[in-house]
Amino acid sequence: MSQATAKAPMTNTNKPVVSGTQGAALRESPAVTAAVKQIVDETRARSARITGVRGPIEELKATYEHLLARAGELRGRGLYYPYLGSGVGNGALVELADGSVKWDMICGIGVQFFGHSDPDLVGAAVRGAVDDTLKQGNLQSGTDVYDFCGTIIAEAGRGSRIRHCFVSANGVMANESALKLCHQKHGGAPRVVAFKDCFAGRSIAMSQVGDSPANRVGIPLSTLVDYMPFYSEVAAAAVGRQAHIDAATAQLREYLDRYPKQHACFIFELVQGEGGFNTAPREFFEALMKLCKERGVAVWVDEIQTFGRLESMFAYDTLGLGQYVDVVTVGKMTQSCFTLFTPEYNPQPGLLSGTFVGEGPAFRVGQRVVERLRDGGYYGASGSIARHHRLFREQVKSMAARHPEWFPKAPGVADIAGGVGGMMRFTPFGGSKEKVQKACRACFEEGVIVFYCGHGPYHIRMLPPLGVMKEQDWPRVFECVERGLAGAAG
C-alpha cells in the first residue's frame, strides 16, 4: 500500500484527504498561503476604492476607443456594448478599462453570481493556478475536478436519482453531451421535443434545437425537433389553468402518437432564459413529464441559466419534479459546466470525452460557489434570493407608477415585472424590440448594465450578483435604470 493511499482517510463529505506528495506539500506551503493572502489583500484594497457609478477618466478615452476598435476588428464585428473590463470591481460594481464604473446587473449573462473581485473566489482561483498545468483533461487530471463533481452530485441527488456527471468547458457542450446520452439510451431515436422560444446554445445541433431562426441561418438541418407551446398566464386565465395544461398534454401526445418511439428526449427549461424568463406552475411540467415517462422519452432539464437562482439550488427541486428527471445540464455560475445523469443513462465507452475538462482555477472557484450557495441562506421563501426578487419588483412598480407612459400593455404579458428569483425581467415600451434594445444601451450609458430577452414581446432582463448585492443597492441601481429609460423614451 502506497504512502498516499495509507494517508487518505475519508471525510464526512466522502472526499479523500491526500498527503505525502510534493503536490500536497506545495498546496499546504506557508509560502504559498502567504502569497495568496498578499494577492487577496491587495485585490481587496483596490476593490474598496470602487464605491459608486462614475464616468470615464478623460485621459483614458482615446486609448479606450482604440481598444474597442481593435476588439471589433479582431472579432469581425463590433461589441454589443463598449465594454472592456479593467480587471477590478467591487461586488455589483465593475470598473471598465476607461476608468468608468457601472452597476453590473447581467454579470456575463449570469456567470458572476458573486460579482467582481470577490476575495474568497480570488483566493480560490490563485490556489487553483498553483497546479502543475493550467488545463486538465479526461485522460489526465488532478483531484479537484472530482471533488467538484462530488459536491454537485450531492446537491443534485437530494431530490432526484442523479448519480453521475460529465464535465464540459461550456454550457453548449454540456447540452451536446446530454443529447448524445438521450439518443444512445433510446436506440438512436432521432426526434427531440422542445418548447417554443427555447434556447440551448449555438453549436450545430443546439442551434437547431433552439427556437431562434436567426441562430441557424445557413446551417443544414439534421436534428428533428417538435416544438411545444410554453405555459402562458394570459391563455390560462382565459380558458382556465387545467384546460390550458390539458391542451399542452394533448399536443405532446399527438407528437408521440405521430412518431411512435422516435423521440429521444424532451428538453425542459423550467424557466425560459433567452425566451423571456417565462415561468410555469408545477402542474404544467408534471403533466408533460408523466407522459414522457409513460412513453419512454427522456426528461432532460436544462439548468444552464436557472441553476442557483431560484428558491432551491436546482429548479427541479423548487418545483418538486426531481423524481422525473433523467438528465440535467448546469453551468454559468458554476464556472465549469456539467451533464448530470441517473445510472440508467450512464453511457457506453466512447460516447463522451474530450481533451479538456477545464482548469484548476475554475474547479476551485466553482467548488466555492456551490459551497457558498449551499450554506449561505439564499434559498427558501424567506431566503435572500426571494427577498431580492421582491425588492426588484417593488422598484419596477414604483418606476411604472411615476412613468405609466413607459409601460403600455404588452401582448401576452400578465405583469410588467416578471421572472422568478434571480432571473428578473420587466417590460417597458410595450415589448418593442427596437425600444427595448435602445433602453438597454441607454441604461449602459447611465451606469447600469442590463440585457434583453424574449421573442416578441421583448423584455429588459437582469441576472444580478445576488451573492454579494446589498438590499440597499436597489434604489441606486434603479436611479440609473430610470435615467436610461427616460433617454430611450425621448
Phi-psi region of 414 (alpha: psi -120 to 50; beta: other; left: phi over 0): alpha
Backbone angles phi, psi at 119, to 5 degrees: -60, -40
Distance CA 384, CA 376 (A): 9
Q: Which residues pair with 167 in a beta bridge?
A: 338
DSSP tag of 409: P
Residue 452's H or E segment, with its range, is: strand 451-454
pLDDT of res. 50 = 98
**In the chain, domain spans:** 1-102+113-130, 137-375
Distance CA 87, CA 98 (A): 11
Distance CA 348, CA 315 (A): 28
Contact 429, 435 (CB under 8 A): yes
Per-residue tens of pLDDT for the chain, all 490 residues: 333 333 333 333 456 667 789 999 999 999 999 999 999 999 999 999 999 999 999 999 999 999 999 999 999 999 999 999 999 999 999 999 999 999 999 999 999 999 999 999 999 999 999 999 999 999 999 999 999 999 999 999 999 999 999 999 899 999 999 999 999 999 999 999 999 999 999 999 999 999 999 999 999 999 999 999 999 999 999 999 999 999 999 999 999 999 999 999 999 999 999 999 999 999 999 999 999 999 999 999 999 999 999 999 999 999 999 999 999 999 999 999 999 999 999 999 999 999 999 999 999 999 999 999 999 999 999 999 999 999 999 999 999 999 999 999 999 999 999 999 999 999 999 999 999 999 999 999 999 999 999 999 999 999 999 999 999 999 999 999 999 999 999 8
Phi-psi region of 320 (alpha: psi -120 to 50; beta: other; left: phi over 0): left
Contact 346, 177 (CB under 8 A): no
Contact 278, 231 (CB under 8 A): yes
pLDDT of res. 160 = 98
pLDDT of res. 15 = 66
Which three three-digit cell numbers place residue 456?
416578441
Q: Which residue's C-alpha cell is 423521440?
A: 263
CA dihedral 51, 53, 57, 63 (to 10 degrees): 110
Using CA atoms, how far residue 83 sits from 95, 97, 115, in Å, is 10, 8, 16
Query: CB neighbours (10 Å) of residue 174?
Result: 28
DSSP tag of 201: -
Contact 43, 117 (CB under 8 A): yes
Task: From 100, 90, 101, select the one nearest 58 (Cα to Cα).
Answer: 100
Residues whose CB is less than 8 angstroms from the CB of residue 321 and which lie 6 or more positions away in sequence, other chains included: 270, 282, 285, 286, 289, 301
pLDDT of res. 5 = 33
Task: From 228, 179, 240, select the one nearest 205 (Cα to Cα).
Answer: 179
pTM here is 0.94
Task: From 72, 71, 94, 96, select the one nearest 85 (Cα to Cα).
Answer: 96
Query: CB neighbours (10 Å) of residue 23?
Result: 16
Distance CA 386, CA 381 (A): 6
Residue 105 burial by CB count (10 A; 0-12/13-18/19+): exposed, middle or buried? buried
Report the CATH architecture of 137-375.
Answer: 3-Layer(aba) Sandwich (3.40)
